[in-house]
Amino acid sequence: MVYFILSIVIIVFGKFIYDSFLTNNTEKNWEKYKYANPHEAVAVENSKGLNMNPHAAIRTDGYYLGRHTGNDFNNNPFTLYFLLIFTKKGFVGFDNIEDIVEWRRDNTNEIMKETIFEINDIEKIEISSSLTNYNILNGGISMKFFDSEAYENKSDIQNPSSYDEWHGSIIHNGLILSFERVYFNLELMKYTKDNIIKNLKFEFVQIKF
């Protein structure tokens, strides 16, 4: 009986030590890691335990698709899809899709395969609202799309006054991105950002070659 009681005491004491010190230390270490490596932490948190490698890579053998829902100015619900195709040469193509059913019907695997081949053949790009360079740093990714037809950009197309920016984290087979509309505020004499979408998840769709 004495040994039994002693065993219970040891188990309870051990659990107390684990809960009070080890668990707390693990949580503190994780918070420190998240602070120092925000993008890599996002990759781990979105791995669902299948791939704990914090170094997620961008993929070029398919496309990324994000689904955004909201309400328009008349408070009517809408759904909009965003498409991103990345190349190994550092370019990214962008498109928005209103009718995903029709788009998928028109863009079969063969058509998307040709699209990916074509975009990967590009060696040089002009300022565009649908094609730009992307930058990767410490697991984070950013891209700025410039509309050359926008009125505020026509006076100096090499130094646009407004642009759309997507930025966020690379996760395994996906992206977590926020969308901002950036413009030069003449009153403040600096760039101002409007936060349009925050932390939208993009799923990667692989194309069969």
pLDDT digits (tens, 9 = 90+) for 83-120: 999 999 999 999 999 999 999 999 999 999 999 999 99
Structure tokens that stand for 141 in this block:
């990714």
DSSP string over 42-73: HHHHTSTTS---S------SEEEEEEEEEE-T
Where along the chain do its domains lie?
2-36, 62-206
- State residue 137's pLDDT score: 93
| Orientation of helix 38-45 relative to helix 23-36, angle to 10° | 120
- Distance between CA atoms of residues 161 and 79, nearest Å: 29
The answer for residues whose C-beta is within 8 angstroms of residue 174's C-beta and 6 or more apart is 46, 64, 201, 202, 203, 204
- State residue 16's pLDDT score: 44
Q: Note the pTM of the prediction, 2 decimals.
A: 0.79
- State residue 94's pLDDT score: 97
pLDDT digits (tens, 9 = 90+) for 155-199: 555 566 788 999 999 999 999 999 999 987 777 788 889 999 999
Q: Tell me which CATH code domain 62-206 carries.
A: 2.40.128
